[in-house]
A and B are shown apart, each in its own frame.
Chain A
Amino acid sequence: MLTLPAGLHSRLRERPPAPPRPAPPLPPPAPAPSSSPSPFAFAPRRLRLGLHHPLLEDGDIHRHLYLQGVLTSLAEVAERPKVSEFSCHISGCCQVFDTLEGYEHHYNTLHRNVCSFCKRSFPSGHLLDIHILEWHDSLFQIMAEKQNMYKCLVEGCAEKFKSSKDRKDHLVTVHLYPADFRFDRPKKVQSGPKHVSSPVKQGVGVPMDVSMETSEPFPVDPMEIGPSENMEIPHPAASPGLGVPEKRHYKSRIPSTICFGQGATRGFKGPRKKV
């Protein structure tokens, strides 16, 4: 038990700090040492310790025991809010949920970053914006003939390219992206019946009239998840009637103010156990 003088806690709470007491004066500097050196070597100095210093070992071990979930301090696990089954309110989507997290994730995956021209959904607003620009903006095509318009997909990289192939090469060689990166599929020129050869999420392509999703045969590539099992894709009956150049200013993104849950923090803190 460490005994401390009384009243420290309240002194701590005093604000503002009292002006520093004048410290007693230091002695004048000692004269030069004589011929035989003193065996006493002490000199005050601030210690600067590196990452692997022994003094820090115990604290580091404690930190890592925490990461590994071995410390025995426990807290309550918040119950996941129980809700009765409900369905997605987006028209045409018939998915049903029994947890709010499940709904949140579904919404964000399928309905949030959706191109209103062609109904493809994207993992982020950033990729959606690029898609709209490159697929549905005919001005883009015109400008792309004269200057480099294809933006690199990696956040923080400002490079632009004159074709989507050049961009892909850049992604692969500089950013070490996989050559078959799913959100940068090469566009296919469409002719005849409107037909998409890949599942919902697409990268770039030629701007064109709105295409409707059609059923796909089960694809061969193990990575492809065909939409035939996908009961969640909305297929709105009404034609948006888009694909007209002036419509590029149409607000095709879901407003980012959509918010889930109550209370100050948005989204949910999952009551997951860190093990």
Chain B
Amino acid sequence: MWGRRRRGAVPGGGRSAEELRARRREREAALRKARRQEQLVSKRLLREDTAEEGGQDGAESVPGPLSEDEVLQLLRGVQRGSEDRKSSLGRLRRALQNKETQQKFVRLDGSIRTLIGLFTSSLADMQMEAARCLHELSHSSDPAVAEACLPVTSYLLTYLSGHSVEFTELCLYTLGNLVVESEAVRKQLLPQGIIPVLASCIQSPHEAVLEGLGYVLSQLLQAKEAPTEIVPLVLDSVLPQHMLRLVCSGLKAGTGAAVEFAWCLHYIVCSHTANAVLLSLGALPALTSLLLDMASEIPQDAPEGLELLVCPVLRCLSNLLAEETGCEGQIQDERLLIALFLILQSFFQQHPFIVQECLWLLNNLTADEPFFCSALLSLDLLPALLQLLPCSQMAGVLVLTVLCNVAEKGPAYCQQLHHQPALPLLLPALALPDPEVVGQCLELLHLLFLHCPEAAADFVRQGGHRALEQHQSTPELQERVRALLDMVGQPLGASTFSSCHAALSAFS
């Protein structure tokens, strides 16, 4: 995807496509559940593909568990200063791919200490193998295993200022895995100086190092205590400006790193404590420009996985725009709308989640700015917008909200809306099952009829009455339905209106 990394086959032996899909569905269900409990955590595994391990392309078999005795033998093998120490260590690394073996290993007396000794020795290849062992342990979902690695953190940080790309990368991913383990780990890492070390590391020219670094940071920034404990430290360092730079140059090189840092920025922006800093660094124009660049790459040269970069960039823009303070420097560039719709067009079938992310930004652009409302109309993007209505319940509500943003701007806008024509697409929306979607549709009709009496008349002519009447008994809708029926019940041009529409006198 980003040139050198291979994603895909989950380790576990050769599997059919159907098995892979089933596995993915399982994972997805587990992730959803975790997110709803606000405990969404994932770790990343870097694993070598050596000749003796890989089977056919993409297939890998995880070794079975060893007995206590076998694990002990392996440990003794690496403790002895003998010729075959290196091969013992290699066998240990392979064995540690198995969860049970991991658990047995960390329970053995002196095992971690031995690993750390090898990890901090000057025997380069032993050091690397020991690092791989520690990495396997760090990836464990068993807290006992991962926490056994805690004594190694000061050394991981020390080695981050080294020059071996492969070794540094390994240390970074190990660190990133440990970071999400618990607050206790982070309480150790912060005083050990992880932030200043990362701030130095971000000046490395190596893409692999930067991607690993982004991973560590993204894990740190997702922590519960991040807004109070971690974000301030990050903001105080040179990290933000480098992150922004690396995100914005991510289309040309280092897309993997750009993805990680974009998610970092998203977590920072969500903490709502950082936005003044980010805005002062020019985040808004920089990210806008990046979005335009990404949109022009698709569909022809788009690297696969671009949606992983598009998504956090969209989110940052939306949330930064929603900042109360100091957002007057908003970009008034209609190309932003073009970019949004090109992105929607490219991604909405394969990655439907992009729809709600784009529509959120569209809402934030059109809410207060007549500029974007009129651009939406003049660029003739309404038909495409309306095509998104049936995508999902969330998409439906957002589409209608955007249309309300437009209609609220006044008669000229309503007339253009009406002449699209909008009504033929809104009428079916009234038949949708979701009350929230229908409710938003009613709000839109209210604005339309308010500013454009012609629309009210056409609505009746097209059978709108019946469409409204079906909701007369729905609790959350009935008041508005009756009010609308009243509105359209009036003959055109009449000067007497019911008292709840006093605002109509504004243009009569």
User: Which A25-80 residues sit within 8 Å CB-CB of chain B?
Assistant: 25-28, 30-52, 54-78
Contact A49 B319 (CB under 8 A): yes
Q: Contact flags (1/0) for A87-116 with B, using CB distance below 8 Å? A: 000000000000001101110111010000
Closest beta carbon of chain B to A32's beta carbon, Å: 8
Q: Is B68 engaged at the interface, CB distance under 8 Å to the other chain? A: no
Q: Within the assembled complex, what's the spacing in Å between the Cα atoms of A49 and B269?
A: 10
Residue of B nearest to A270 (CB): B166
Contact A73 B31 (CB under 8 A): no
Contact of A267 among B125, B163, B308 (CB under 8 A): B163
Closest beta carbon of chain B to A253's beta carbon, Å: 12
Q: Is A237 engaged at the interface, CB distance under 8 Å to the other chain? A: no
Is chain A's binding surface mostly helix, strand, loop or mixed? loop
Q: Is B148 engaged at the interface, CB distance under 8 Å to the other chain? A: no
Q: Is B451 engaged at the interface, CB distance under 8 Å to the other chain? A: yes
Q: Is B241 engaged at the interface, CB distance under 8 Å to the other chain? A: no
Q: Within the assembled complex, what's the spacing in Å between the Cα atoms of A24 and B499?
A: 29
Residue of B nearest to A27 (CB): B410
Beyond A18-B334, A59-B353, whether A4 also contacts B384 by CB under 8 A is yes
Closest beta carbon of chain B to A156's beta carbon, Å: 3
Contact of A40 among B207, B387, B483 (CB under 8 A): B483
User: Which B1-36 residues sit within 8 Å CB-CB of chain A?
Assistant: 1-8, 10-11, 20, 23-24, 27-28, 31-32, 35-36
Contact B443 A40 (CB under 8 A): yes
Q: Contact flags (1/0) for A257-275 with B, using CB distance below 8 Å? A: 0000000011111111111
Q: Is A146 engaged at the interface, CB distance under 8 Å to the other chain? A: no
Chain B contributes a number of interface residues (CB within 8 A of A) equal to 159
Report chain A residues within 8 Å CB of B7.
66, 69, 71-75, 274
Q: Is B161 engaged at the interface, CB distance under 8 Å to the other chain? A: yes
Beyond A63-B311, A175-B191, whether A275 also contacts B46 by CB under 8 A is yes
Contact of B503 among A30, A36, A109 (CB under 8 A): A30
Q: Within the assembled complex, what's the spacing in Å between the Cα atoms of A232 and B122?
A: 9
Residue of A nearest to B342 (CB): A8
Report chain A residues within 8 Å CB of B6.
74-77, 271, 273-274
Q: Is B368 engaged at the interface, CB distance under 8 Å to the other chain? A: yes
Beyond A17-B334, A58-B352, A70-B10, whether A232 also contacts B31 by CB under 8 A is no
Contact A182 B443 (CB under 8 A): no
Contact A271 B117 (CB under 8 A): no
Q: Within the assembled complex, what's the spacing in Å between the Cα atoms of A218 and B79?
A: 11
Q: Is B140 engaged at the interface, CB distance under 8 Å to the other chain? A: no
Contact B353 A2 (CB under 8 A): no
Contact of B368 among A36, A46, A225, A268 (CB under 8 A): A46
Beyond A27-B411, A65-B24, whether A104 also contacts B165 by CB under 8 A is yes
- B373-381, B421-429, B459-467: which lies at the interface: B373-381
Given contacts A75-B1, A232-B122, 19 further A-B contacts (CB under 8 A): A2-B341, A18-B334, A20-B332, A34-B500, A35-B499, A47-B360, A58-B353, A61-B32, A69-B44, A71-B305, A73-B8, A75-B5, A102-B125, A108-B167, A125-B161, A201-B120, A270-B4, A273-B46, A274-B6
Q: Ordered nearest first, which 4 A-B pairs have the shortest CB separation? A: A156-B196, A58-B353, A223-B117, A48-B322
A residues near B (Cβ < 8 Å) are 1-5, 8-9, 11-14, 17-18, 20-21, 23-28, 30-52, 54-78, 101-102, 104-106, 108-110, 112, 121, 123-127, 154-157, 174-178, 181-183, 199-201, 218, 221-226, 228-230, 232-233, 265-275
